[in-house]
Amino acid sequence: MTVSFRFQNLVKSGSPEVPDLRWSFSSFSSSLSIVMLLGLFGSTSGASASNRDGDREPATDRPNVVLIVADDLGWADIAPNNPETFYRTPNLSRLAARGIRFTNAYAAAPVCSPTRGSIMTGRHPARTKTTDWFGGARSGKLLPADYTQALPLEERTIAEMFHDAGYATFFAGKWHLGPEGYWPEDQGFQVNRGGWTRGGPYGGKKYFSPYGNPRLEDGEPGEHLPDRLARETVEFMADQDGRPFLAVLSFYSVHTPLLAPDALVEDYRDRRKNVVVEGPRWGRERNRKVRLVQDHAVYGAMVESMDAAVGKVLDGLEALGLVENTIVVFFSDNGGLSTSEGHPTSNLPFRAGKGWLYEGGIREPCLMALPGGDATAKVSSIPITSHDLAPTLMELCDLPRETPRPLDGRSLVPILHGDEADWSRTNLYWHYPHYGNQGGAPSGAIRSGDLKLIEWFEDDQVELFDLATDPGETLDLANQRPDTVRRLRAALAGWRLGIGAEMPRPNPDFDPDHAP
């Protein structure tokens, strides 16, 4: 059966904007690119504002940056990584076809806020004391490690770095990096469309207008959030009139609540009828069931809707003639949700999902296209992480790389230019001293080459896996390779000490009958 879907533009013209962020399109109205945009996206009503430090002189001869961050999207949810996926992602395939796909890309944490902070700063969450999602402290046998409930204002974000270099800066979508006073406009973004305290679209009609979001004006009733955020992004790009920009499109999709346009959900219900299941639909991960089959119709519609919004931004870049001078990056903040909250996706061939330090919780889709693109898609298997994005973008855009605080990420520019032999990293580290909503427990991990060790803080147990032969982490080698375990545990402990990582503590009030 051939199934197709034409994504409908639900956006209507003339929606009101926040008064202090109003901007005008008039200087561009005669441009052919805007005529094309009007046909693609409808009429515009964007806005702009100076950040708290005032405007800078525009940079010259520097590329634009579009950084797209998905929420809770798993590695196996996109067709470039998984041609057999249940979900249709033609626009992400389109992006991958003109750029580089990293098959061993990792989030800094298995939940959202820490990873998002690492993207903004280039620094590890253990260093910035932002190791759990903000508002997520839970106790069990251990008391979770202390952590900061906001991205500290003294941290220097990519928005501040780019703005100081003369870039216009824009943010749309999910922020979840602190309460009011720590929102995007407080961290270097001149324009903020929808970023605030909450980690999901929980106000109003959630994924449909009215949104109940203090940083996003409501559209026409029924307007769809991912489409709206993409339109806002394109309008911002169109208004810059040659000034280089950093545009961060941070989708709320595909985070819960599980909601999508009815017609597309029905389409996926029909599509599900043709799914052939050869093994079990469900497995177990400790005390949680875990989904092993991709066939959730609503989640499928959410993924495709997000992909369509990505396509709207790519179309906008083409219509504006900006492809030849724009870097486009796509990333996700943690693995797919498979052990909780509706269990909407499967991360196979990887184990577990969001909230766990197994590969399903931290291995991410990562696509990156440089200005002009390339007719031949490239693939890199070098392990990279979310805090590599900031130094990479800084180097690509010729920004000063000296910062007042040490960066934990490394620039990926040599890899992007095909010089993988000149790029090496000994280890990757994770520190999640918390209990997740999804069943994960306080733990840390290290990847050294193809070996990965996970250390569980509750009982001081370790697991060792060889990802080259066992990417699903099914065969624990810890008892067979004690020397390797000692070496990796020592490296992990030394890294924690050096970075000042906070550790969980015994819980004197722990009741095993009511453990999380």
Single-letter residue type at 341: E
Give the tens place of pLDDT for each residue, 199-210. 999 999 999 999
Q: How far is CA 318 from CA 19, 117, 322, 371, 516, in A?
A: 30, 30, 6, 12, 49
On whether residue 466 sits in a domain, the answer given is no
The size of the chain, in residues, is 516
Q: What is the mean pLDDT of residues 275-287?
A: 93
Taking phi over 0 as left and psi of -120 to 50 as alpha, with beta for the rest, 132 belongs to beta
pLDDT at 81: 98
Residue 267 has pLDDT above 70, yes or no: yes
pLDDT at 512: 80
* Local structure of residue 72 (DSSP, 8 states): S
On whether residue 497 sits in a domain, the answer given is no
pLDDT at 58: 58
Range scoring the smallest mean pLDDT among 128-132, 300-304, 369-373: 369-373
On whether residue 485 sits in a domain, the answer given is no
On whether residue 159 sits in a domain, the answer given is yes
Q: Supply φ then ψ for residue 227, to 5 degrees.
A: -65, -40
Q: Which residues contact 479 (CB under 8 A, 6 or more apart)?
A: none
The model's confidence at residue 13, banded by pLDDT at 50, 70 and 90, is very low
Number of domains the chain contains? 1
Q: State how far the Cα of 175 lies from the Cα of 112, in Å rounded to an integer.
A: 10
Q: State how far the Cα of 5 lies from the Cα of 88, in Å rounded to an integer.
A: 10
Residue 245 has pLDDT above 60, yes or no: yes
The model's confidence at residue 25, banded by pLDDT at 50, 70 and 90, is very low
The more confidently predicted of residues 481 and 377 is: 481
Q: How far is CA 151 from CA 193, 247, 410, 436, in A?
A: 19, 19, 21, 20
Single-letter residue type at 74: G
| Burial of 30 (C-beta count, 10 Å sphere; 0-12/13-18/19+) | exposed
Q: State how far the Cα of 119 lies from the Cα of 388, in Å rounded to an integer.
A: 8
Percentages helix, strand, coil for the chain (3-state, rounded to 5) are 30, 15, 55
Q: How far is CA 61 from CA 93, 177, 268, 374, 397, in A?
A: 29, 32, 45, 20, 9
pLDDT at 422: 80
Return mean pLDDT, the chain.
Answer: 89
The model's confidence at residue 258, banded by pLDDT at 50, 70 and 90, is very high
The model's confidence at residue 82, banded by pLDDT at 50, 70 and 90, is very high
pLDDT at 375: 56
On whether residue 480 sits in a domain, the answer given is no
Give the tens place of pLDDT for each residue, 62-80. 999 999 999 999 999 999 9
Residue 50 has pLDDT above 70, yes or no: no
Q: State how far the Cα of 209 lies from the Cα of 212, in Å rounded to an integer.
A: 8
**pLDDT > 70: what percent of the chain?**
87
Q: State how far the Cα of 72 lies from the Cα of 66, in Å rounded to an integer.
A: 19
The arrangement of strands across the sheet holding 384-385 comes to 363-364, 105-106, 384-385
pLDDT at 515: 64
On whether residue 445 sits in a domain, the answer given is no
- In degrees, rounded to 5, the angle at the alpha carbon of residue 334 between the alpha carbons of residues 332 and 336 is 95
Residue 24 has pLDDT above 90, yes or no: no
**CATH number, domain with residue 147:** 3.40.720.10
Choose among 473, 472, 404, 460: nearest CA to 141. 460
Range of the domain at 74: 19-53+65-425
Q: What is the mean pLDDT of residues 321-350?
A: 97
pLDDT at 62: 92
On whether residue 483 sits in a domain, the answer given is no
Q: What is the mean pLDDT of residues 293-313?
A: 98
Give the tens place of pLDDT for each residue, 214-237. 999 999 999 999 999 999 999 999
Give the tens place of pLDDT for each residue, 433-492. 999 999 999 999 999 999 999 999 999 999 999 999 999 999 999 999 999 999 999 999
CB distance 111 to 408 below 8 Å: no
Name the β-bridge partners of 431. 444
Q: Cα 483 to the chain's mean position, in Å?
A: 36
Residue 60 has pLDDT above 90, yes or no: no
Range scoring the smallest mean pLDDT among 144-158, 209-223, 410-424: 410-424
On whether residue 433 sits in a domain, the answer given is no
Q: State how far the Cα of 71 lies from the Cα of 74, in Å rounded to an integer.
A: 9
pLDDT at 376: 67
pLDDT at 17: 32
Q: How far apart are the first and last CA of the chain?
A: 44
pLDDT at 10: 28
Kindly compute the dihedral angle of the four CA atoms of residues 148, 428, 256, 217, in this order, to the nearest 10 degrees. Answer: 60
Q: For 36-135, where are the E strands, in sequence order?
A: 64-70, 100-102, 105-106
The CB density around residue 236, as the number of other CB atoms within 10 Å, is: 26
Q: What is the pTM of this model?
A: 0.89
Q: State how far the Cα of 24 lies from the Cα of 12, in Å rounded to an integer.
A: 17
pLDDT at 144: 94
Q: What is the mean pLDDT of residues 340-369?
A: 97
Q: State how far the Cα of 217 lies from the Cα of 240, in Å rounded to an integer.
A: 21
